[in-house]
Amino acid sequence: MHGFVFYFSILLFTCHTSAAQPLTYPAERHLRNVRQLTYGGDNAEAYWSNDGQKLTYQRTDKKRGIPCDQIWMLDLSAGTEHTSPVRISNGHGRTTCSYFLPGDTLILFASTHHSHDTCPAEPERVRGKYVWPLYPEYELYIADLKGNIVRRLTNNSYYDAEATVSPKGDKIIFTSTRTGDPELYIMNIDGSGVRQITNRTGYDGGAFFSPNGKKIVWRSTRFDSDSEVTEYKKLLEKGLVSPNKMELYMAKANGKKCRKITQLGGANWAPFFHPSGKKIIFSSNHATQTIPFNLYMINTDGSGLEQITYDPIFDAFPMFSPDGKKLVWCSNRNNNGTRDTNIFVGDWVE
């Protein structure tokens, strides 16, 4: 979720353990020299700058006075042992889904700060379902690395979030409820030329571009019965969606030639292209339909499913560095029996 504020799922699916966990597990053959970058709180959706030297991410840490997600940045240019997080968002409202723009001097993210000085209320529990809120106060903003807002890209009463940028540097893809249903939209890097590219009942979100910018991959909820559609629409009227049933889809960057990649069941989400453009890495709980969530990789034709991580609780939000040499992701490993979710980076081994 990049992509969506899947942080809520971290809180749902994380459970207490009795001791510190390892940084890697023996079966994680694709990962070497793993380093932990954050310690404490809920740290999620960490995404690389275009030069591979920085990460932007969202963070909640109530013990340290961060009551809901704010956008932060880590500069790794001096080495991971010298990282010190810098807050980019202004500390008001709730933020999500940050991403570097071309040149790495500006960061794109969604925020409610124009409508809420404080954190917006979290949704009430829905009996028998886990739900995400689609806050209509979320708007898309661009800020510099000192946190100054330099541009507001959207201005309406709908949910606008989950934005990422094409490697070509020309387009932004995001999710919006402006038609009454969460759909994918593309716009120019300056916010002009907004165009809807999905149009099917069900949640569509968390989209990323392929390395050449010609394709997109995203998560989507589709339905097998009229009763599922009815239940979905009832939740949507309350500004909620249930993320327990999602599969991955791929299409051309204009939304054409859409096809389903996974048919696994459960929640398959947080997809990102392998540097070759021929595989997708993602998070899934298909093996159990509950915890654990682990990282998997699959060919873009839906074949060759391979498990990448083996944490007993939670691994998600994977992203390859621009040069393909490193993988960053978020995990509950090594959290000393707490519910903390932290950012990890490792060398990628084919």
Are residues 240 and 264 in contact, defined by beta-carbon separation less than 8 angstroms? Answer: no
pLDDT tens, residue by residue, 246-299: 999 999 999 999 999 999 999 999 999 999 999 999 999 999 999 999 999 999
Q: Which pTM was predicted?
A: 0.94
**Percentage of residues of the chain with pLDDT beyond 90:** 88
What is the structure's pLDDT at 327? 98
Question: Cα separation of 81 and 36, whole Å?
Answer: 9
Question: Cα separation of 106 and 99, whole Å?
Answer: 9
Q: Which residues pair with 249 in a beta bridge?
A: 218, 260
Question: Cα separation of 25 and 307, whole Å?
Answer: 12
Banded model confidence at residue 88, pLDDT cuts 50, 70, 90: very high
Superfamily assignment of 7-348 in CATH?
Answer: TolB, C-terminal domain (2.120.10.30)
Sheet order of strands, 66-75 included:
42-48, 54-61, 66-75, 86-87
CB neighbours of residue 138 within 10 Å: 30
Go through 306-318 and write b for each residue having 16 or more CB atoms within 10 A of its CB, e for each that does not. Answer: eebbebebbbbbb
Asked whether the CA dihedral 189, 191, 197, 198 is positive or negative, the reply is positive
pLDDT tens, residue by residue, 132-153: 999 999 999 999 999 999 999 9
Among the residue ranges 31-40, 118-127, 154-163, 325-334, the one predicted with the least confidence is 118-127
The CA-based diameter of the chain, rounded to the nearest angstrom, is 55
User: Would you kindly state where each structural domain of the chain is located, as residue ranges?
Assistant: 7-348
